[in-house]
Amino acid sequence: MSEKYFLEIDPKILHKELLSLVYNWIDFLAIQKKYSENTIISYKRDAENFLNFINEHYGEAITLNHLNSLKVVDFRSWLAKRVNNGLNPRSNVRAISSVKSFFGFLAQKHLINMDAINLLKRPKIPKLLPKPIETKIIIDFLNAQYFFENDELWITNRDRALYYLLYCTGLRINEALNIKTAEIASTMKICGKGKKERIITLLPIVLEKINTYIHTCPYDLNEGYLFIGLRGKKLLAPYVDSRLEKLRILYNLPDHASAHAFRHSFATHLIQNGADLRSVQDLLGHESLSSTQIYTDINDYNILNIYEKTHPLAINSRTEKNDTIKD
């Protein structure tokens, strides 16, 4: 098992049998369910959070009997503590799924019942519209002479190639960073979330930026990942977002500018320019059309804004309102 999947809790809080079952569950997620590394790590952390809470609740090493004796009020107390600690509804919904997955694994082995946890209701997740970056802002940024003045040329070329790739394909940041140089082509197969594969097309300008980066990079990229850091190791998503956070200030970018905002911008700008929803769904690699539907909500919101700013009666209404305020 990868070191990433070792429990980051004191093993003494779990009875030996239960500790072994937790690791069996993690193996089950990786081997049989074939969940991504990020999903497994998230599920593991949620389980650790829950087991720590239950240990504090009982004040002794947890056994299967302890888990079987839990009531729905115990699960609600765990969620209440997470809320008090500032964890948002989306994070808490995932945490419930994680713990239910663990309990379900134990139930399949006839070691536990699901009665109490099945009574637990998921928190409602507020519907948040994705925040794209305006077209002019994003294009001006992509074509800046440099991003950080003191960067070596190949670093500037690397970042430009990455930003162009994200905006022109809608790739998730980890999908982009997992690309190997040998895979680069005008048409590529991407393995995305849930191991779902899709085909993307690289525009000529994206290929041009990538080639410029490759030819100026001091490392041999042919046998490994396309995007690397100063020491020649694979570039990581937190590093990319950390740089973008600094660039927001330097280039007066909106507060929501991040690697994922390029993906939102890609989808939003396509739909605003007439792309059909099914095509955008395929390009983004969404399992469900409802996940893509949210970008039409942004478009509807923009249309309403334009309507309110341009309709004669809306203009007259605002003028009268302003006059009233002045009076």
Assign residue 220 the CATH number of its domain: 1.10.443.10
Which listed residue (82, 158, 263, 264) is catalytic? 263
Nearest to 270 by CA among 299, 307, 244, 250: 299
pTM (predicted TM-score): 0.61
Structural domain count of the chain:
2
Task: Specify whether 177 is located in the same domain as 282.
Answer: yes
Q: Both ends of the chain: CA-CA distance in Å?
A: 73
Indicate whether 104 and 166 sit together in one domain: no
- 151 within some domain: yes
Phi, psi angles (nearest 5°) of residue 131: -110, 105
Q: Does 295 qualify as catalytic in the annotation?
A: yes
Active site residue 193: yes
Same-domain check for residues 35 and 145:
no
Active-site hit among 131, 198, 248, 260: 260
197 with 269, same domain: the answer is yes
Choice among 44, 66, 264, 286 that is catalytic:
286
pLDDT confidence of 303, banded at 50, 70, 90?
Answer: very low
Average pLDDT over residues 80-96: 91
Q: Which is nearest to 8 in space by CA: 57, 51, 64, 69?
A: 51
Q: Is residue 144 predicted with pLDDT exceeding 50? A: yes
Is position 65 within any domain? yes
- The average pLDDT across 95-118 equals 94
Mean predicted confidence (pLDDT) in 189-204: 85
Inform me whether the pLDDT recorded for 212 exceeds 90: yes
Domain boundary among 118, 151, 182: 118
Q: Does 199 lie in the same domain as 235? A: yes
Average pLDDT on 263-280 reads 82
The residue annotated as part of the active site, out of 35, 43, 163, 295, is 295
Most confident of 229-238, 252-261, 262-271: 229-238
Pair (233, 109) in one structural domain: no
Q: Which position among 15, 45, 193, 243 bears the catalytic label?
A: 193
The mean of the pLDDT values for the chain is: 84
Is position 219 within any domain?
yes
Beta-carbon contacts of residue 120 (< 8 Å; ≥ 6 apart): 72, 75, 76, 79, 96
Closest residue by Cα to residue 123 from 96, 93, 95? 93
Proportion of the chain in helix, strand, coil states, percent, rounded to 5: 65, 5, 30
CATH number at residue 20: 1.10.150.130
- Asked if 100 and 184 sit in the same domain, the reply is no
Helices (H), 13-63: 16-27, 37-58
Residue at 84 is within a domain: yes
Q: Are 194 and 36 in contact (CB under 8 A)?
A: yes
Domain range enclosing 203: 135-307
Could you tell me if 288 and 157 lie in one domain? yes
Residues 6+ away with beta carbon under 8 Å from 292: 267, 277, 280, 281, 284, 286
Does the residue 129 lie in any domain? no
151 with 291, same domain: the answer is yes
pLDDT of the residue at 54: 94
Q: At what angle do helices 37-58 and 16-27 cross, to 10 degrees?
A: 160
Find, among 259, 272, 99, 111, the residue nearest to 174 by Cα: 259
Alpha helix positions (H), the chain: 16-27, 37-58, 64-68, 72-84, 89-108, 115-118, 135-142, 153-169, 173-177, 204-216, 237-250, 259-272, 277-284, 289-310, 312-326
Backbone angles phi, psi at 187, to 5 degrees: -125, 125
Same domain, 176 and 77: no
Looking at 66, 82, 172, 264, which residue is catalytic? Answer: 172
302 pLDDT more than 60: no
DSSP 8-state class, residue 35: -
93 and 47 in one domain?
Answer: yes
**Is 231 contained in some domain?**
yes
286 is catalytic: yes
Radius of gyration of the chain (CA): 25
Six-digit token string for 104? 């379900």
Tokens of residue 126, six digits: 């507020």
Same domain, residue pair 49 and 181: no
Q: How many CB atoms lie within 10 A of CB 271?
A: 18
268: pLDDT strictly greater than 60 = yes
Any catalytic annotation for residue 146?
no
Instruction: Please say which residue of 118, 150, 177 terminates a domain.
Output: 118
Domain-embedded: residue 318: no
Segment 97-115 shows an average pLDDT of: 94
Nearest to 55 by CA among 91, 98, 9: 9
| 45 labelled catalytic | no
Of 118, 153, 170, which residue is a domain's last? 118
Q: Considering the domain boundaries, does residue 126 fall inside one?
A: no
Q: Is residue 172 annotated as a catalytic residue, yes or no?
A: yes
pLDDT of residue 327: 35
